[in-house]
Amino acid sequence: MNVEANTHRQLTFDGNRDQLPAWSPNGKWIAFVSDRAGGRTIYRMDVNGENVKQLTNKKDCRGPAWSPDSQWIAFAAEHSLFLMDAGGRRLRELTWAKRFSECSWSPDGKQIAFTSDPPNGGSEIFSIDVNGKNRRQLTWSDQPAVIWGPVWSPSGKWIAYIVGQIPGGGGPVDQIMTNGAISVVNTVNGAGGKPIEATRGLPKRSLQWVPKQLLSVSPSAEKQTTLWGVLKQMEDTAK
């Protein structure tokens, strides 16, 4: 979509479920998940929709995330977090867990943040070095929670994410996600983890840091980008 001209064009026409597009930082490719081969696998295409290439043979792939230099893609599949180059080669497993969802790269390209199930249920945020070492749990919820959308701040000091508390006796996943709130956690010592004020009731949408330490959730139910204010020098404080 051209946001200035308010024009858009369709990129895929295969008639299947094409989801989770991720634009490479160098602007050359879009990675996405599709079930056109009979399972959720990762594909790559040029930004004009041409030269579509299947990158993985694994099923149930989720959340392709580009490295800052556009040379690598991290993704979750089959109870593991994987890393492959931009052409789908040099595939290697980074770590295993019961369940993974979304992941994102640190600005320096040395770590990957991801959400996974801890032993006590719910989901939490972890980080791991790109060599598969130094896996750390960064969030410790007071009660089981559903967490999604971790994204690093430009300095690499913080990770923002959306969290929805699981009520006693459980509840519909869609309802839990709809009642989520934005939180931030320090990537060094795990400090923070408390919801930012006035962000309750967010739908499950992508969360991004934007210039001047603002956070955006896009799009909202009204199909508009919502900005959630300056984080009060969050980069320089431990609040």
Residues 6+ apart with CB under 8 A from 172: none
Q: How far apart are CA 39 and CA 36, in angstroms?
A: 7
Higher pLDDT, 217 or 82: 82
- % of the chain with per-residue pLDDT over 70: 69
Terminal-to-terminal C-alpha distance of the chain: 37
Q: Which residue has the tokens 């060599």?
A: 131
pLDDT in tens, 27-64: 999 999 998 888 889 999 999 999 999 999 877 888 79
Query: For the chain, how are helix, strand and coil distributed in percent, rounded to 5?
Result: 5, 45, 50
Residue 134 has pLDDT above 80, yes or no: yes
- % of the chain with per-residue pLDDT over 90: 31
| Rounded mean pLDDT, 78-97 | 90
Measured from the Cβ of residue 88, the count of other Cβ atoms closer than 10 Å reads 17
For residue 234, name the pLDDT band (cuts at 50, 70, 90).
very low
pLDDT in tens, 135-185: 998 888 776 677 878 889 888 888 888 877 665 555 555 555 555 677 888
- Decide: residue 41, CB within 10 A, 0-12 exposed, 13-18 middle, 19+ buried: buried
Q: How far apart are CA 170 and CA 73, in angstroms?
A: 34
What pLDDT, on the 0 to 100 scale, is given for residue 140?
82
Q: How far apart are CA 114 and CA 75, in angstroms?
A: 9
Q: How far apart are CA 79 and CA 46, in angstroms?
A: 29
Length of the chain: 239
Q: How far apart are CA 133 and CA 225, in angstroms?
A: 37
Query: Of the given ranges (13-17, 73-77, 117-121, 213-217), which has the lowest mean pLDDT?
Result: 213-217
Higher pLDDT, 226 or 68: 68
Residue 19 has pLDDT above 50, yes or no: yes
Q: Which of 78, 87, 83 is nearest to 67 (CA)?
A: 83
pLDDT in tens, 84-93: 999 999 999 9
What pLDDT, on the 0 to 100 scale, is given for residue 219?
44
**pTM for the structure as a whole:** 0.79
Q: What angle do CA 78, 217, 234 make, to 5 degrees?
A: 100
